């Protein structure tokens, strides 16, 4: 429901994971396989000498520093900027407003209901249920319209359709209290808490 770049996140995590896996495999092979260690000792000096020659050939006139360091610094600054922009995109779409309406009464003004009202009300209604291992309620802004996301972690043996029907009744009561229909996404998932939590039989 939010604008978090999920696909981009997965691509970046996949690339990072593959790089770390390759580095780990290389280190393991260097430590355990003599042929790989011999190849590394014969290959790495040539690469290091090539890098040193490249930096020596690009020195400023009359100085010992290479202008390649400026390029390295600019690339690092660009990388930092991209990382900051990527971090800023995470979790966008969260909202603190559930409903807003103009009241032209004796004292005209806007009537606003915060998202915390719905979140706390639903969390209180779901707290202590033996058929749930966890529940979270979050308010989002979807194309200018407030919406709710209810994420449930049912315990093993709980019928998802019955749980969804009960939650729908709670949401209907909330909409009646607020006086406005709100788009809702009910997410019923599973996780370690549902598999390894304390076993309880739900009748």
Of residues 40 and 142, which shows the higher confidence score? 40
**Beta-carbon neighbour count of residue 138 at 10 Å?**
19
The helix/strand/coil state of 51 is helix
CA angle 75, 76, 82 (to 5 degrees): 90
Position 188 confidence tier, pLDDT thresholds 50, 70, 90 = confident
Provide the mean pLDDT of the chain: 80
Whether 70 shows a pLDDT value over 80: the answer reads yes
58-62, 92-96, 106-110, 138-142: range with lowest mean pLDDT: 92-96
| pLDDT value of residue 108 | 78
CATH fold, domain 97-196, is: GMP Synthetase; Chain A, domain 3 (3.30.300)
Q: What is the pLDDT of residues 75-90, one digit of tens each?
A: 999 999 988 888 877 7
How much of the chain, in percent, has pLDDT values that exceed 70?
87
- E strand intervals along the chain: 97-103, 109-114, 132-142, 145-154, 184-188
Position 17 confidence tier, pLDDT thresholds 50, 70, 90 = very high
| 68: Cβ contacts below 8 Å, ≥ 6 apart | 54, 55, 58
Per-domain boundaries in the chain: 6-88, 97-196
Arithmetic mean of pLDDT, 188-202: 51
Q: Model-level pTM?
A: 0.49
Q: Are 47 and 41 in contact (CB under 8 A)?
A: no
55-64, 93-102, 161-170, 171-180: range with lowest mean pLDDT: 93-102
Arithmetic mean of pLDDT, 6-32: 90
Of residues 81 and 101, which shows the higher confidence score? 81
Position 92 confidence tier, pLDDT thresholds 50, 70, 90 = low
């Amino acid at each position: 429901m939010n604008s978090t770049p999920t696909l981009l996140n997965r691509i970046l995590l996949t690339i990072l994971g593959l790089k770390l896996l390759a580095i780990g495999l290389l280190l393991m092979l260097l430590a355990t396989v003599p042929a790989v260690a011999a190849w590394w000792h014969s290959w790495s000096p040539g690469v290091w000498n090539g890098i040193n020659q490249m930096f020596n050939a690009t020195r400023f006139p009359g100085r010992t520093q290479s202008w390649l360091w400026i390029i390295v610094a600019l690339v690092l600054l660009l990388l930092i900027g991209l990382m900051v922009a990527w971090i800023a995109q995470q979790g966008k779409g969260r909202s603190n407003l559930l409903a807003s309406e103009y009241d032209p009464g004796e004292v005209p003004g806007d009537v606003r209901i915060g998202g915390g009202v719905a979140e706390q009300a639903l969390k209180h209604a779901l707290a202590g249920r033996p058929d749930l291992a966890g529940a979270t309620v979050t308010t989002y802004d979807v194309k200018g319209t407030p919406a709710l996301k209810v994420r449930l972690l049912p315990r093993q043996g709980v019928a998802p359709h019955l749980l969804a029907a009960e939650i729908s009744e709670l949401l209907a009561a909330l909409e009646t209290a607020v006086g406005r229909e709100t788009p809702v996404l009910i997410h019923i998932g599973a996780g370690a808490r549902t598999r390894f939590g304390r076993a309880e039989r739900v009748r």
